[in-house]
Amino acid sequence: MASGAAPYLVVEEVSKAFGTVMALDGVSLTVAAGEFVSFLGPSGCGKTTLLRAIAGLDPANSGRILQAGRDITALAPAARDFGIVFQSYALFPNLTVAENIAYGLRGPAWPKPRRASRVAELVELVGLTEHVRKFPAQLSGGQQQRVALARALANEPGLLLLDEPLSALDAIVRLHLRQEIRTLQQRLGVTTIMVTHDQEEALGVSDRVVVMNHGRIAQIGRPEDIYRRPANPFVAGFVGRSATFIAWVEAAEGLLQAGQDGWRIAADAARGMPRGTRVEVFIRPEDVRLTRPGEGGAGSFPVTVRHWEFLGPVCRLTLAAGPQRQLEADLPPDAAHALGAMPGAALAAEVPPERVLVFAADA
């Protein structure tokens, strides 16, 4: 494996157009050896295109891609070093599990006994030993997924590419499998890139997440950074839930004013912004703390409960803070009952200034 210093995969200014549509617009990123990176974004953001450009399936129009120091931009897929799991798995339906896994193990490097032992090793790895003679159609979705994974790993590729690998599965299998994939990845130490539109999946398993939008990279960072410190309004809005509104920076350090009613809120992020700057404000539901009216601290403001939604572990309350602003707050059902947070109830709310996300609005 490549040494820690030099990145294993380098993507430099890669662009790709389909007709007049720019699917990728000057994308650059690096992936370290052994790292698990997810490409996250809404559909059409270019994440799959980027993955396929790295695989060589849809080569880039311009830019460079280096893998382990080797320029692979112009290479055909077969000349590159990767394994891939497709959204549809693309298992060969007329071949058994064993034949599927052994499919790429050919040539003089793979005499029969070696191939057989490698297949045995892989089915063991993905826990399908008793199914080796079955055909894909005889397996469950999750089992098929594991076959696809085993097949992709058979040749010990330097890079594992996962294209929406879990999207065809139902919720419980999905949760289970994504943990399994992560465990397997860490055990094998294989550099992995996963494309997904499911932020929970991306945040849950990745070392780093690449958030993409309109063919560009919106932010690259560790999951927590992406969530807590989004680089721009798109990431703030796309990753996690939040209430959003427009505000202006007031004279006082870190104070924002929104609307005609003089409603104010303190935000650390607004410090240093010139007075009068128009900003977009994002507030996540779990950051809103509710108290009974009058019991709140200095920064608290009155709110009225509009709507109440039971989600199991938490209740989501829709709050009116003034005539035009809505916030959301999550709190455990017991706490909500204790507060008497029923629709129509008047409460006090506060948001820690360090948790208020503020971005200068463009226009």
CA 290, CA 334: separation in Å to the nearest integer? 13
Return the axis-axis angle of helices 112-126 and 141-153, rounded to nearest 10°: 140
Q: How far is the CB of 223 from other proteins (least distance, A)?
A: 27
Strands 289-291 and 255-258: unpaired
Q: How far is the CB of 46 from other proteins (least distance, A)?
A: 18
Positions 289 through 318 that interact with other proteins (CB under 8 A): none
The two tokens of residue 343 are 């629709």
Q: How far is the CB of 192 from other proteins (least distance, A)?
A: 14
Using rule CB under 8 A, residue 151 touches other proteins: yes
Binding letters toward other proteins, positions 160-199, x by CB under 8 A: -x--------------------------------------
Positions 41 through 70 that interact with other proteins (CB under 8 A): 52, 55-57, 68, 70
> CB under 8 Å to 267, separation ≥6 — which residues?
254, 255, 256, 281, 353, 356, 358
Which helix H or strand E contains 353, and what residues bound it? none
Which residue has tokens 């109830």?
Answer: 345
Using rule CB under 8 A, residue 17 touches other proteins: no
Q: How far is the CB of 222 from other proteins (least distance, A)?
A: 29
Q: How many CA atoms lie within 13 A of 196 on its CB side?
A: 24
Q: Which is nearer to other proteins, 74 or 246 (CB)?
A: 74
Q: Which is nearer to other proteins, 69 or 293 (CB)?
A: 69
Do 288 and 327 meet the contact criterion of CB atoms below 8 Å apart? Answer: yes
CA 195, CA 51: separation in Å to the nearest integer? 7
Using rule CB under 8 A, residue 215 touches other proteins: no
Q: How far is the CB of 193 from other proteins (least distance, A)?
A: 13
Using rule CB under 8 A, residue 131 touches other proteins: no
CA 348, CA 5: separation in Å to the nearest integer? 51
With CB under 8 A as the contact rule, the residue among 10, 22, 66, 90 that binds other proteins is 90
Q: Which is nearer to other proteins, 53 or 357 (CB)?
A: 53
Nearest to 235 by CA among 280, 191, 288: 280
Size of the chain, expressed as the number of residues it contains: 363
Using rule CB under 8 A, residue 138 touches other proteins: yes
CA 166, CA 53: separation in Å to the nearest integer? 21
211 exposure class (CB count in 10 Å sphere: 0-12, 13-18, 19+): buried
Using rule CB under 8 A, residue 83 touches other proteins: yes
Do 243 and 283 meet the contact criterion of CB atoms below 8 Å apart? Answer: yes
Using rule CB under 8 A, residue 81 touches other proteins: yes
Q: Which is nearer to other proteins, 136 or 223 (CB)?
A: 136
Strands 289-291 and 346-350: antiparallel
Nearest to 14 by CA among 39, 34, 43: 39
With CB under 8 A as the contact rule, the residue among 5, 78, 251, 311 that binds other proteins is 78
Using rule CB under 8 A, residue 16 touches other proteins: no
Using rule CB under 8 A, residue 77 touches other proteins: yes
Nearest to 160 by CA among 4, 6, 8, 3: 8
With CB under 8 A as the contact rule, the residue among 3, 19, 43, 109 that binds other proteins is 109
With CB under 8 A as the rule, give the number of residues binding other proteins. 42
Binding letters toward other proteins, positions 311-350, x by CB under 8 A: ----------------------------------------
Q: How far is the CB of 281 from other proteins (least distance, A)?
A: 42
3-state helix, strand, coil in the chain (%, to 5): 30, 30, 40
Q: Which is nearer to other proteins, 102 or 267 (CB)?
A: 102
Do 317 and 307 meet the contact criterion of CB atoms below 8 Å apart? Answer: yes
Using rule CB under 8 A, residue 125 touches other proteins: no
Please give the residue ranges that form the binding site for other proteins (CB under 8 A).
1, 52, 55-57, 68, 70, 75-84, 86, 88-95, 103-104, 106, 109, 135-138, 151-152, 154-158, 161
